[in-house]
Amino acid sequence: MSFQQGLSGLNVMSKNLDVIGNNIANASTVGAKSSRAEFADLYANALSGAGSSPVGIGVQMATVAQQFTQGNITATDNSLDVAINGGGFFQVTDPTTGETVYSRNGQFKLDKSGYIVNDQGQKLLGYGADTNGNVIQGATSAMQLPTAGISPQATTNVSNQFNLDSREKVTDPGAAASPRINFTDSTTFNQARSTTVYDAKGQPVSLSFYYQKTGDDTWNVYATANGKTLSGTDSNPTPIQTLSFSTDGKTVSPATTTLSIPASTNASGAATLAIDPVTWDVTGSTQYGAVFALTSQSQDGFAPGQLTGVTIGDDGVLLARYSNGQTKAAGQIETATFRNVQGLQPIGGNAWRLTSSSGDPIKGVPGSGNLGTLQAGAVEDSNVDLTGELVNMITAQRNYQANAQTIKTMDQVMQTLVNLR
């Protein structure tokens, strides 16, 4: 009788329509993956063990296979949105059970404690970073941004690279003169430049250098901090260093000088702390027949700052930006993949759970091995092909109608047999 075949066909076509309907429902769900109903035929085995019947008894649902193809990547306005371009999953931890689950949905936000979480409150996992911004790869933990800000750092190194004009006239009045230099009289020195350094509280100190030519290849260098001389007395300053250049002007000696910056009062009236020691590095400076030019200037101190934003690199490194202009790595996202992604169990909320079929996760930084790179400020759309799903729905509907027709036909045959006399 064809009732069994027709009923089995109605059953699996109903399930197929469920799968198609779920795909269509999630056509706009970020990170969602479509599914496909796969079928297998049914045959009855003979009780004698002589083989199966040559006539099948219907169809069964073999599995619902997930399709982990890449979805389109769409740019957003949220800097914490992240899309995976290639293989891999984000690792997030469930806040109630502590279980690690896996997701392709990169719609992340900050919670009140600074943790990076998704819409389900699950925390993103990755590597942490030390106070110097060095990522510590190893054990993973919930990623938390340093919302408390960044502490100040006193200057320990000042680097200047410049060219002193060899054509300048000698302005050194000689050792007998007192003072040999007047910081308010530009005729007593050839050039002057300033930079800002910071004490242990992060307070700015204006550090000025004055260059006074004493001979063909020698220059006295004086320095002041907030107008207070670094060497000698304010009424009779002395050089912090005498620079000597080679006859061709290519090299300078000494290249480094150790400074001790005294306590003073800055432009805002705040009492600044002494900064000691500070290395002044002039490596690469020259004395050519060209106008004075300061080609490079840097120092390693900074004021305190608050977190103003974060950017995510394609390798998953979170770079925190602070109000004092500093940037520092705050961690790195770790992604995971599986030998058999089809074996993952969907649990809803755009997440999957590992199973014995999927195997253990293969973890690493984005871009390594089979793991895709990250694109910040973007999300991965669902990979559902809406047009294809609508065609599949029409086909499934026709198949459902055809199976119903076989039952109707068989019913008519049975009615004819019953009416025979």
E strand or H helix that includes residue 278: strand 275-281
pLDDT the model gives residue 2: 66
Residues 246 and 367 in one domain: no
Residues 252 and 165 in one domain: yes
What does the DSSP assignment read for 78-124? -TT-EEEESS-EEEEE-TTT--EEEE-----EE-TTSBEE-TT-PEE
Residues 331 and 197 in one domain: no
Strand segments (E) across 300-418: 307-312, 317-322, 327-333, 335-337, 345-348, 351-353, 362-364, 373-376, 378-380
Out of 299, 320, 347, pick the residue that ends a domain.
Answer: 299
Residues 236 and 198 in one domain: yes
Cis peptide before 173, with omega less than 30 degrees from 0?
no
* Signed CA dihedral, 148, 149, 152, 155: sign only: positive
**Whole-angstrom distance, CA of residue 44 vs CA of residue 4:** 12
Q: Which residues contact 320 (CB under 8 A, 6 or more apart)?
A: 145, 146, 307, 309, 310, 327, 328, 329, 330
Q: Which domain holds residue 17?
A: 3-69+384-418
Out of 256, 280, 299, pick the residue that ends a domain.
Answer: 299
Residues 171 and 295 in one domain: yes
pLDDT the model gives residue 146: 85
pLDDT the model gives residue 51: 56
Reading the chain (421 residues) residue by residue, the pLDDT tens digits are 567 788 888 889 999 999 999 999 999 999 999 999 998 887 776 444 555 567 778 888 889 999 999 999 999 989 899 999 999 999 999 888 889 999 999 999 999 888 999 999 999 999 999 888 899 988 899 999 888 888 999 999 999 999 999 999 999 988 788 888 999 999 999 999 999 999 999 999 999 999 999 999 999 999 999 999 999 998 899 999 999 999 999 999 999 999 999 999 988 888 999 999 999 999 999 999 999 999 999 999 999 999 898 999 999 999 999 999 999 999 999 999 999 999 999 999 889 999 999 999 999 999 998 999 999 999 999 999 999 999 999 999 998 888 888 888 887 888 888 887 6
Residues 203 and 280 in one domain: yes
Cis peptide before 254, with omega less than 30 degrees from 0?
yes
Residues 170 and 289 in one domain: yes
Out of 299, 326, 342, pick the residue that ends a domain.
Answer: 299
Residues 195 and 233 in one domain: yes
Provide the whole-model pTM: 0.79
Question: What's the number of domains the chain is made of?
Answer: 3
Residues 321 and 374 in one domain: yes
**Whole-angstrom distance, CA of residue 224 vs CA of residue 316:** 44
CA angle 256, 262, 263 (to 5 degrees): 145
Q: Which residues contact 262 (CB under 8 A, 6 or more apart)?
A: 225, 228, 230, 274
Residues 116 and 173 in one domain: no
**Whole-angstrom distance, CA of residue 361 vs CA of residue 336:** 6
Residues 41 and 125 in one domain: no
CATH of the domain at 166: 2.60.98.20
**Using a CB cutoff of 8 Å and minimum separation of 24, what contacts does 226-235 make?**
226/264, 226/265, 226/266, 226/267, 226/272, 227/183, 227/264, 228/262, 228/264, 229/183, 230/259, 230/260, 230/261, 230/262, 235/179
Residues 195 and 273 in one domain: yes
pLDDT the model gives residue 279: 97
**Whole-angstrom distance, CA of residue 134 vs CA of residue 142:** 17
